[in-house]
Structures are given as structure tokens and as C-alpha cells.
Amino acid sequence: MALKAVHVSDVPNLDQVTENASLSLYSTRFPKGMDVSSCRTGYKIPKFLVLGHRGSGMNILQSSDRRMKAFKENSILSFNAAANFPVDFIEFDVQVTKDDCPVIFHDDFILSEDNGTIYEKRVTELSLSEFLCYGPQREPGTVGKSLLRKTGGKILSWNVESDDSLCTLEEVFEKVNPCLGFNIEVKFDDHIVYQQDHLTHVLQAILKVVFEYGKDRPIIFSSFQPDAALLLRKLQSTYPVFFLTNGGTEIYYDVRRNSLEEAINLCLDGGLQGIVSEIKGVLRNPGAVPKIKEAKLSLLTYGKLNNVPEVVYLQHLMGVEGVIVDLVQEITEAVSFMIKQPSGDGEEEVLLEGEDQIPGKTNPQFSERELSFLLKLIPALIQL
């Protein structure tokens, strides 16, 4: 079918893990070559990646686009639905309950209604059993607490076409298609200052599950919390750690979060392997991309603009190595058409006009001069 551009609205003790431990990240759809053995930097992604955001896409409950409410985000159902398309990884959010169980949930607070009264609980202050009581229940005949979501200043019922139960990190490892890599985002509240002991305790609980159930699955860790990202790298050397940043599109008290340049410095100082930036941050500051490359860091992006095939293609030309997307089917189809993935020599190719073209589809073509012009124009447009 023809693609249409989308309108964008506004640990346990890990001493047993050797310093040189490595994992060659591999799945049936992801070629060998991701190796983080004893590296501070120099981590190389061997192909242009597509990662499913919270599985088959985040839920935007107020959206008129049914695709934004097709599957419950961050659910096993959504993760396995993404596996029906040639996506390389799924991205999901992990928090740890008060009884030290890593669970999958994005928001800091979970909302429910009982007899007309709305109750709000912090996820990390719930026990595992309390957390799993919300939403659809796996036990036949059992009714869970209603699940609401605060979005755009409103509180809405969390209604989707295909609902699913809340789940733990262990269940995700056990029940999600093994061909999918995991981008595990470790979530912390932006408004809380965390002590190192607390961060270490949370990360150890997550790493305990990862090392027990990870097996040969490709895994990338990421976090917006700078100290958590640095600690993840110190606590283990098996899996790559990326620093998540808005790239300067929002300003925080912690200056390390406020620009791509700060992100580069953090990665180099802490031996992290890459950056995951809001795409607007990259488009506003395209000059940061060669700096990231010079630092031998990998670069992925996230954001609504990644649901536009032409924007994804432009990022490939700029040197971005992968995109986190909501419209998994549309973007994987576009990437398969626009970009020939590596053959035996490991080199990617961009389809040239007239080469293996599909009737009715036109691949964007840019000369170096045109690309240079676009990279100068786009930052000004993004500021509007």
C-alpha cells in the first residue's frame, strides 16, 4: 500500500562479570556485530535500526488516529504485535516496585477510579501485587481496578482496541518473541533528586532479572537520569548504555540534560556507548551529529517526527543509526524500501532512482548541495 506522511500534531553482586565480558548482539533480523567488549567508546551499530516505541507504539488516548490506541502500550501483546514486522528492537519503560520487582510502566503515577473518586498512586510505592491489580486480569472471572491516564491536563479512561494485563520484566523476557532486541529504558521521576544508594539498589534489581533471563537477546540500556546511566555502565560491562536526552528542547536543573554537547561529554566521561535524542534536538542542531560520530558514539532518536518516513530517511543520510517509532508497520516498510540493509561487506546502500523501485513509490533523492541546504533550513523551521 502507498505510504502517506503523518501529520505531526502539536544487581545482584556483579563482581562475577568480568571487565571484558561482551555480548555480540544478534537476532534473526539483526546481524552480528554489536560488541561492547572492554570498550569505553567505539561501539558500532551494524545497520539502520527501527525500534518499536513501547512495543507497537505509545497510546495517545485523545488522538483521533486509531493506530495510537490499537494495543495497550508497554504490554506483552503490544511487544509481540511489533514482532509481526521487521522491527529490530522494542523500547519499553522499567520501574521497580517497593518490594524490588522490575515492572513495565511509563508514567510515574498510576490512576484509578472508585465510586467517583480518582486515586493516584506512585508506581514505585506499590508492591508487585498492588501494581498487578490494575487493568485487565489474567485470572478468569477476576476484575481489576480501573485504569486511567492523565494526559493533556485531562484524566481519561485508558481504553484501547486490544487491551492486556500489566506485566513484569521477567514476564517480558519469558513471553516476548526472542527475535526482538530490548531497549530497556530505566525510568526515574524528573522531579526527584535521587541518592546514589537508592539508584544502585534499583539498578541491581533490574540487572538481576536481565542477567538471569537475558540469554542471547540483544539488549540496550538507556535512561534520562544521568547518574543512573553512569551507574549502569559501572555495574556491568556486558550491555551497552545510552544516555537519553531531549537535546535542548526542554531545560532542566541538571545541565547535563540540556544539550547534545552535554550528552556527548557525559558519555565520554562515563564510558557510555551512545545517545538517544529527541529528534527535534538533532534537527535544531545538526552540527552535533558529526561531533557525536567523532566521539565514536552511536546515535538513535525518538519523537513524533519519527513517524514521518521522509524525516526518517533524512536522518539516515545525516548519519543517525536508528529511530524509535510509534507507527511500526509504516516505518519498517518505508525503511525496507528506502534503505538496503548491509550485505556481506557490512555496507548499507540507499536505493537509487530506477533501482529495484516499487511502482507508485518515489524514493527521495538529495544531492550533497541539497542536503546541506536542508540541514541549514530545518533548524529554523523546527524553531517555529
* pLDDT at residue 30 in the model: 47
Q: Of the ranges 110-124, 225-239, 261-275, 354-368, which one carries the lowest mean pLDDT score? A: 354-368
Q: Of the ranges 44-53, 127-136, 265-274, which one carries the lowest mean pLDDT score? A: 44-53
* pLDDT at residue 100 in the model: 98
In which residue are the cell numbers 492486556 written? Answer: 164
Taking only the tens place, the pLDDT of each residue in 54-108 is 999 999 999 999 999 999 999 999 999 999 999 999 999 999 999 999 999 999 9
Output the average pLDDT for the chain.
86
* pLDDT at residue 283 in the model: 94
* pLDDT at residue 23 in the model: 34
pLDDT mean over 283-291: 95
For strands 89-96 and 181-186, give the pairing: parallel
> Which pLDDT band holds residue 379 (cuts at 50, 70, 90)?
low
Taking only the tens place, the pLDDT of each residue in 292-347 is 999 999 999 999 999 999 999 999 999 999 999 999 999 999 999 888 766 655 55
Q: Which whole-number Å values give the CA distances from 52 to 121, 156, 223, 302, in the listed order?
A: 28, 24, 17, 10
pLDDT at position 279 over 90: yes
* pLDDT at residue 351 in the model: 45
pLDDT at position 121 over 50: yes
pLDDT at position 384 over 70: no
CA 209 from chain center: how many Å? 19
Closest-CA residue to 306 (of 273, 334, 338): 334
pLDDT mean over 352-359: 43
> Which pLDDT band holds residue 45 (cuts at 50, 70, 90)?
confident
- Greater confidence (372 vs 280) lies with 280
> Which pLDDT band holds residue 371 (cuts at 50, 70, 90)?
low
Give bridge partners of residue 181 from the DSSP assignment.
89
> Which pLDDT band holds residue 353 (cuts at 50, 70, 90)?
very low
Dist. CA 371–CA 376, nearest whole Å: 9
**336 HSE (CA, 13 A, CB side):** 13
Closest-CA residue to 333 (of 130, 112, 87, 111): 87
Q: Of the ranges 164-178, 182-196, 366-380, which one carries the lowest mean pLDDT score? A: 366-380
Dist. CA 231–CA 193, nearest whole Å: 15
Cell of 84: 509481526
Dist. CA 312–CA 325, nearest whole Å: 10
Domains of the chain, CATH where assigned: 49-339+367-383 (3.20.20.190)
pLDDT at position 359 over 60: no
Dist. CA 244–CA 379, nearest whole Å: 20
Q: Which whole-number Å values give the CA distances from 381 to 277, 312, 374, in the listed order?
A: 18, 17, 10
pLDDT at position 2 over 60: no
Q: Of the ranges 34-43, 124-133, 148-157, which one carries the lowest mean pLDDT score? A: 34-43
> Which pLDDT band holds residue 349 (cuts at 50, 70, 90)?
low
- Greater confidence (372 vs 255) lies with 255
Q: Which whole-number Å values give the CA distances from 263 to 187, 274, 275, 297, in the listed order?
A: 18, 9, 7, 10
